[in-house]
A and B are shown apart, each in its own frame.
Chain A
Amino acid sequence: GAVVSQHPSWVICKSGTSVKIECRSLDFQATTMFWYRQFPKQSLMLMATSNEGSKATYEQGVEKDKFLINHASLTLSTLTVTSAHPEDSSFYICSAPRRLAGDDTQYFGPGTRLTVL
């Protein structure tokens, strides 16, 4: 079946540094990918829609200069958390819709746990 991977699965960084998270669709192409954030014991909140070849669309309240999204190819989207701070510590999850005639399905990555010290 279709698979979406994320790398790294977990990362610890110092405050002030930047961290890049990759989201890949392994066996299908995705012109759109979605980035979500999940706080402990809470729901997933949509951060942005990543669009291949164009700028990402950010949800209200999400700082686009802090959470940089690049969708450089049909199988890869990256989320860079710039100048990370402890409040950015969270679980980041991407998803990619696979569009087939008569059966569009969205696949989620396993998530990346970010801890900022």
Chain B
Amino acid sequence: AQSVTQPDIHITVSEGASLELRCNYSYGATPYLFWYVQSPGQGLQLLLKYFSGDTLVQGIKGFEAEFKRSQSSFNLRKPSVHWSDAAEYFCAVGTGTASKLTFGTGTRLQVTL
């Protein structure tokens, strides 16, 4: 069975600082990996996805993630955080780009000014 672990429940960073959110997955085959952001009152928004090719994936809003098979990780990064990035972030794994997903427990990002 597939599973996703997000070790950090809550992270606080200062505006302008860099950010890295951790995600580890467990999946027997080649995983389809996703990062979503959830803001209050809004649906989940896809930040980026990976399933093949270059292991460094660029997404929207200046986010990127790196797939490391040896570490079973897909960490999300942003070089400079903006206050509007405060939200809940979910890592997810699926069997395809439009399949049902298994989500991690989420990381709540707080941005201080």
**A-side interface residues toward B, CB under 8 Å?**
4, 32, 34, 36, 42-46, 49, 93, 95, 97-99, 103-111
Contacts and interface: CB of A to CB of B under 8 A. Distances in A.
A43 B101 contact: no
A110 B42 contact: yes
Contacts, number: 52
Given A43-B90, A44-B90, A4 B97 contact: no
B62 to A, nearest CB: 19
Contacts of A34: 100-101
Interface in B87-113: 90, 96-106
Interface of A is mostly: strand
Given A43-B90, A93-B43, A93-B44, A105 B97 contact: yes
Contacts of A32: 98
A26 to B, nearest CB: 12
B11 to A, nearest CB: 15
Would you call the interface of chain B mostly helix, strand, loop, or mixed?
Answer: loop
B: contact size bracket: 10 to 19
Nearest to A94: B43
20 contacts: A34-B100, A34-B101, A36-B103, A42-B105, A43-B90, A43-B103, A43-B104, A44-B90, A44-B101, A46-B101, A49-B100, A93-B43, A97-B97, A97-B99, A103-B97, A106-B97, A108-B45, A110-B41, A110-B42, A110-B43
Contacts of A106: 46, 97-99, 101
Interface of B: 36, 41-46, 90, 96-106
Contacts of B96: 104
Contacts of B100: 34, 46, 49
A44 B103 contact: yes
A10 to B, nearest CB: 10
A105 B34 CA distance: 11
Nearest to A30: B98
A97 B98 contact: yes
